[in-house]
């Protein structure tokens, strides 16, 4: 794309009003009362008497053929209504919806039919009067397996002769491609220093306290399924789930209920809904399937990224970054439902906040005998942040440069800025964020303290400083720009809102697929509506609409909710106001151009005495048709289907991926840690975090996400890992071993906000919900490495468990001290 094309393709630059009444206020969330009263209405709360319950029998083997399943005894057990095996399910249902590269050959079903491919994969489901009775019956199912060799290490999976996870694919490499952006060869030829490293990021996952669940009812009278679930997204794509259930798309209605957390793991997680629906049709009854914790850990289909990086960073001696070569192997597990979209997230901000001119990105997706990856807060971009910041710190050490100075030297300072991949950073001020972080962190104070504690007490204190990006609002192109000839080059990721003004002037906002995950969509919408109509946000009624007869919507993910809801509300409000203007003008007997919106109604310009409030306009439109011209319909409700406001197409040669993630936030995290070299324990002495997500709608709410995201980042950095042993057994199969940080592992954060508005969005908002987790692992790794630098130790593998830290200390020899 040329510069001219790029300018033409950008949305118009907006003026943002300086006067905002509700946007920017840390109001109490409108969602809260029901949750505080214990009336949250989560999926498990909605099970009515007479609903049957399902339980899934999971494979104990990482890789095995299913030779025989005997279900007669289970079927005869008390309270059992049905037992459905994977073979049965393959007749009742088509494969699961799958955005992977080759679904026909890495076929994914709701239950394994001929072969199990990971410990925990479902092989049968029992439907009974209660979950207790269903689990009793599970124990009566006899399965004869023929164990097969398991493949667990992704590099070995890619090597010749590895056991094949999917024979039909004839390889464990589900996808492989090398992309070159900019002039990589030149930058590397001209570089004075090449900094190299190998880095390993192990998989962790969202693990919200509420698992995925669905209540399904099949109505044979209409041939329709109605499913309540805590995982509704991408409504326009639900025809795929309907196809799985072998019904037409307009015979499937999926209705959202509040979710007890998601962090990505409830994004398009349709397997429980499919299982519940299949069971409902088989039994003729309403069926609930609620994952329990072991189901979720082993079989959720939402493990996070699991990567091996080999990286080269081309530098000049003065610290200028020229180019980067990234070779990444990503262990996707046994299926690959979202393709390599996680790498699209990386490519959106692959050069971080730096003026790196060229990128080579070689990605290989390996299949192994593990649960598949899904979505986890950051969706792969947090891993790139970590890798890049590790390289920057390594470069600083090798070149003898200060970690702050090397970053400043390379900061992007002019916006909008197009990075080598073609994506754009819409706005930013990285110096300002860094300055504020250094101040809040008392950086120079801690550097002095670090030195003192080392010299006087022999303690190992480390300060991590990272500056990194947090992209928001993904485009559909990142699903398919991986292929030169994609099967489905989709370009829609809309979000819709309907606004209805009733005869009393009360406003109802209808959300479609924009599920509540803890991310406050109701409060966001209420604040936007209040801003538009000068009402109280607590007077706005919010309704969630099901998929079948709802408007198209995508739901939360990629920090898109705030921007997309802002656009949808703005659009719908604009239409309401346009009709209300005409109506008011008619009632005031004046030309529509002579009225203006002011303080809750339309008034004659400059004459507040001659005004019609929204309520007056609304009641007239609802009840007094004959007061209006023939072409004006009764009522006052309008909808907006808000499409992604800034997407451009990739070039045919894929040297330019176009704009696909334009609203670019940024943050700086500065943790101070102490490493106990006798035990490998890492404790926090201080933690400062400054984020810039554009204009903030509810600053307190964003701060809450920063802390929560950072807590998950602490988990990823130090505690959380889905551990599979060399035989493919899942060792961390419960909360006893999958370690979630408690209040004692998470420090109090000192939080700062910077706001550089987006030029392209309503109010200049950007997304920010993922940010904490996108920064913390990089920052904590940097801090630990800073602490252990005097011992010559640098950790390049997450999580940095005590075992890994102590192993590194032992390997460094007696000089490193170490335990014992």
Alpha-carbon span 589 to 553, nearest angstrom: 39
By CB under 8 A, which span of 159-167, 276-284, 697-705, 782-790 interacts with other proteins? Answer: 697-705
- Interface mask (CB under 8 A) for other proteins, residues 747-786, using x and -? -xx----------------------x--------------
Residues in region 144-163 near other proteins by CB under 8 A: none
Tell me if 438 contacts other proteins by CB under 8 A. Answer: no
Least separation in angstroms between CB 515 and other proteins: 11
Tell me if 814 contacts other proteins by CB under 8 A. Answer: no
Tell me if 735 contacts other proteins by CB under 8 A. Answer: yes
Tell me if 33 contacts other proteins by CB under 8 A. Answer: yes
Tell me if 707 contacts other proteins by CB under 8 A. Answer: yes
C-alpha neighbours within 13 Å on the C-beta side of residue 599: 9
The full DSSP string for 438-470 is: HHHHTHHHHHHHHHHHHHHH--EEEE--EEEEE
By CB under 8 A, which span of 108-116, 338-346, 489-497, 676-684 interacts with other proteins? Answer: 676-684
Three-state SS letters, 501-548: ECCCCCEEEEEECCCCCCCCHHHHHHHHHHHHHCCCHHHCEEEEECCC
Alpha-carbon span 114 to 803, nearest angstrom: 39
Tell me if 635 contacts other proteins by CB under 8 A. Answer: no
The full DSSP string for 303-319 is: B---EEEEEEEEE-TTS
Tell me if 555 contacts other proteins by CB under 8 A. Answer: no
Tell me if 745 contacts other proteins by CB under 8 A. Answer: yes
Binds other proteins by CB under 8 A, chosen from 298, 349, 472, 801: 801
- Using the minimum distance from each CB to other proteins, give the nearer residue, 362 or 729: 729
Alpha-carbon span 690 to 670, nearest angstrom: 9
- List residues bridging with 144 in a β-sheet: 68
By CB under 8 A, which span of 15-23, 35-43, 279-287, 364-372 interacts with other proteins? Answer: 35-43
Binds other proteins by CB under 8 A, chosen from 18, 37, 630, 652: 37
Residues in region 301-330 near other proteins by CB under 8 A: none
Tell me if 712 contacts other proteins by CB under 8 A. Answer: yes
- Using the minimum distance from each CB to other proteins, give the nearer residue, 283 or 807: 807
Tell me if 518 contacts other proteins by CB under 8 A. Answer: yes
Binds other proteins by CB under 8 A, chosen from 39, 414, 630, 726: 39
Alpha-carbon span 412 to 458, nearest angstrom: 39
Binds other proteins by CB under 8 A, chosen from 373, 519, 603, 716: 519
Tell me if 741 contacts other proteins by CB under 8 A. Answer: yes
Tell me if 42 contacts other proteins by CB under 8 A. Answer: yes
The residues near 792 (Cβ < 8 Å, ≥ 6 apart) are 812, 815, 816
Q: Give the residue from 396, 421, 434, 490 showing the smallest Cα distance to 789.
A: 396
Tell me if 803 contacts other proteins by CB under 8 A. Answer: yes
Tell me if 567 contacts other proteins by CB under 8 A. Answer: no
Binding residues for other proteins, total number by CB under 8 A: 84
Sheet of strand 595-598, all strands in order from the earlier edge strand to the far edge: 595-598, 601-604, 607-613
Tell me if 11 contacts other proteins by CB under 8 A. Answer: no
Residues in region 115-144 near other proteins by CB under 8 A: 131-132, 135-136, 139
Least separation in angstroms between CB 804 and other proteins: 10
Tell me if 54 contacts other proteins by CB under 8 A. Answer: no
- Using the minimum distance from each CB to other proteins, give the nearer residue, 656 or 674: 674
Measured in whole angstroms, how far is the alpha carbon of residue 313 from the centre of its chain? 28
- Using the minimum distance from each CB to other proteins, give the nearer residue, 139 or 484: 139
Residue 713 and residue 278 in contact, taking contact as beta carbons nearer than 8 Å:
no
Residues in region 252-311 near other proteins by CB under 8 A: 258-263, 292-294
Tell me if 683 contacts other proteins by CB under 8 A. Answer: no
Binds other proteins by CB under 8 A, chosen from 710, 756, 761, 796: 710
Torsion, Cα 428 393 805 207, to 10 degrees, reads 20
Binds other proteins by CB under 8 A, chosen from 678, 790, 813, 815: 678
Binds other proteins by CB under 8 A, chosen from 6, 14, 16, 28: 28
The span from the first CA to the last CA of the chain, in angstroms, equals 61
Q: Which tokens go with 786?
A: 């800073």
Tell me if 744 contacts other proteins by CB under 8 A. Answer: yes
Residues in region 572-611 near other proteins by CB under 8 A: none
- Using the minimum distance from each CB to other proteins, give the nearer residue, 62 or 650: 62
Tell me if 671 contacts other proteins by CB under 8 A. Answer: no
Tell me if 517 contacts other proteins by CB under 8 A. Answer: yes
What φ, ψ does residue 192 adopt, rounded to 5°? Answer: -95, -25
Residues in region 192-211 near other proteins by CB under 8 A: 206-210
What φ, ψ does residue 767 adopt, rounded to 5°? Answer: -80, 155
Alpha-carbon span 781 to 798, nearest angstrom: 8
Tell me if 32 contacts other proteins by CB under 8 A. Answer: yes
Q: Give the residue from 469, 355, 365 showing the smallest Cα distance to 418.
A: 355
Q: Is 688 helix (H, G, I), strand (E, B) or coil?
A: strand
Alpha-carbon span 236 to 552, nearest angstrom: 6
Q: Which tokens go with 624?
A: 């007094």
Least separation in angstroms between CB 767 and other proteins: 16
Q: How far is CA 271 from CA 63, 297, 300, 742, in A?
A: 20, 14, 9, 30
Tell me if 817 contacts other proteins by CB under 8 A. Answer: no
Q: Give the residue from 687, 472, 544, 563 showing the smallest Cα distance to 255.
A: 544
Polymer length in residues for the chain:
820
Alpha-carbon span 299 to 293, nearest angstrom: 10
């Amino acid at each position: 794309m040329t510069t001219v094309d790029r300018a033409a393709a950008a949305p118009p630059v907006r003026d943002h009003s300086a006067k905002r009444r509700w946007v920017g206020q840390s109001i109490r969330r409108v969602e809260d009362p029901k949750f505080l009263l214990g009336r949250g209405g989560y999926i498990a709360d909605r099970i009515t008497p007479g609903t049957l319950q399902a339980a899934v029998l999971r494979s104990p083997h990482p890789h095995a053929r299913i030779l025989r399943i005997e279900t007669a005894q289970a079927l005869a057990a008390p309270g059992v209504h049905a037992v459905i095996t994977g073979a049965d399910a393959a007749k009742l249902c088509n494969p699961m919806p799958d955005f992977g590269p080759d679904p026909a050959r890495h076929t994914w079903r709701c239950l394994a039919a001929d072969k199990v491919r990971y410990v925990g994969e479902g092989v049968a489901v029992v439907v009974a009067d209660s979950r207790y009775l269903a689990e009793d019956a599970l124990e009566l199912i006899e399965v004869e397996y023929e164990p097969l060799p398991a493949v667990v290490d992704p590099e070995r999976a890619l090597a010749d002769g590895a056991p094949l996870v999917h024979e039909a694919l004839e390889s464990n490499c589900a996808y492989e491609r090398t992309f070159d952006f900019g002039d990589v060869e030149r930058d590397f030829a001209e570089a004075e220093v090449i900094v190299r490293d190998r880095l390993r990021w192990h998989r962790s996952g969202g693990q919200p306290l509420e698992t995925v669940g669905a209540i399904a009812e099949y109505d044979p009278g209409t041939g329709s399924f109605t499913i309540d679930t805590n995982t509704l997204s991408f409504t326009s794509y639900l025809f795929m789930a309907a196809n799985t259930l072998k019904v037409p798309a307009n015979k499937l209605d999926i209705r959202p209920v509040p979710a007890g957390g998601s962090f990505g793991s409830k994004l398009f997680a349709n397997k429980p809904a499919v299982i519940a629906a299949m069971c409902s049709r088989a039994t003729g009854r309403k069926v609930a399937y609620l994952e329990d914790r072991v189901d979720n850990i082993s079989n959720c289909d939402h493990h996070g990224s699991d990567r091996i990086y080999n990286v080269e960073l081309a530098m000049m001696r003065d610290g200028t970054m020229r180019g980067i070569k990234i070779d990444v192997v990503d262990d996707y597990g046994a299926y690959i439902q979202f393709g390599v979209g996680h790498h699209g997230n990386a490519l959106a901000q692959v050069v971080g906040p730096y003026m790196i001119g060229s990128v080579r990105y070689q990605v290989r997706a390996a299949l192994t005998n593990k649960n598949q990856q899904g979505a986890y807060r950051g969706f792969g971009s947090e891993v790139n942040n970590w890798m890049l910041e590790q390289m920057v710190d390594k470069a600083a050490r090798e070149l003898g440069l200060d970690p702050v100075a090397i970053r400043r030297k390379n900061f992007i300072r002019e916006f909008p800025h197009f990075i080598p991949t073609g994506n754009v950073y819409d706005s930013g001020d990285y110096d300002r964020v860094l300055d504020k972080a250094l101040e809040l962190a008392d950086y120079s104070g801690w550097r002095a303290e670090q030195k003192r504690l080392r010299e006087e007490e022999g303690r190992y204190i480390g300060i991590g400083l990272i500056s990194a990006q947090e992209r928001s609002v993904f485009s559909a192109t990142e699903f398919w720009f991986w292929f030169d000839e994609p099967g489905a080059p989709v370009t829609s990721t809309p979000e819709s809102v309907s606004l209805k003004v009733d005869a009393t002037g009360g406003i109802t906002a209808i959300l479609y697929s924009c599920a509540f995950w803890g991310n406050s969509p109701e409060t966001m919408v209420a604040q936007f509506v209040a801003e538009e109509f000068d009402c109280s946000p607590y007077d706005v009624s919010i309704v969630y609409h099901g998929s079948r007869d709802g408007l198209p919507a995508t739901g939360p993910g990629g920090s898109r909710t705030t921007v997309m809801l802002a656009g949808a509300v703005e659009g719908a409000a604009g239409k309401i106001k346009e009709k209300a203007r005409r109506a008011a003008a008619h009632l005031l007997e004046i030309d529509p151009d002579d009225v203006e919106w002011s303080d809750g109604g339309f008034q004659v310009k400059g004459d507040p005495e001659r005004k019609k409030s929204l309520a007056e306009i609304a009641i007239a439109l609802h009840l007094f048709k004959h007061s209006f011209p023939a072409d004006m319909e009764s009522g006052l409700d309008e909808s907006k289907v808000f499409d992604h406001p800034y997407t451009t197409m990739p070039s045919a040669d894929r040297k330019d991926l176009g704009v696909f993630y334009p609203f670019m936030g940024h943050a700086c995290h500065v943790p101070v840690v102490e490493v106990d070299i006798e035990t490998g324990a890492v404790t926090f002495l201080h933690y400062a975090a400054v984020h810039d997500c554009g204009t903030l709608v509810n600053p307190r709410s964003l701060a809450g996400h920063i802390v929560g995201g950072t807590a998950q980042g602490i988990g990823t950095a130090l505690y959380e890992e889905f551990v599979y042993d060399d035989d493919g057994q899942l060792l961390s199969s419960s909360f006893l071993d999958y370690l979630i940080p408690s209040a004692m592992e998470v420090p109090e954060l000192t939080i700062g906000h910077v706001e550089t508005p987006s030029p392209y969005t309503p109010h200049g908002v950007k997304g920010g919900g993922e940010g904490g987790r996108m920064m913390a692992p990089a920052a904590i790794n940097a801090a630990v490495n800073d602490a252990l630098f005097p011992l010559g130790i640098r950790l390049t593998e997450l999580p940095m468990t005590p075992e890994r830290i102590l192993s590194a200390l032992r390997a460094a020899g007696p000089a490193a001290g170490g335990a014992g």
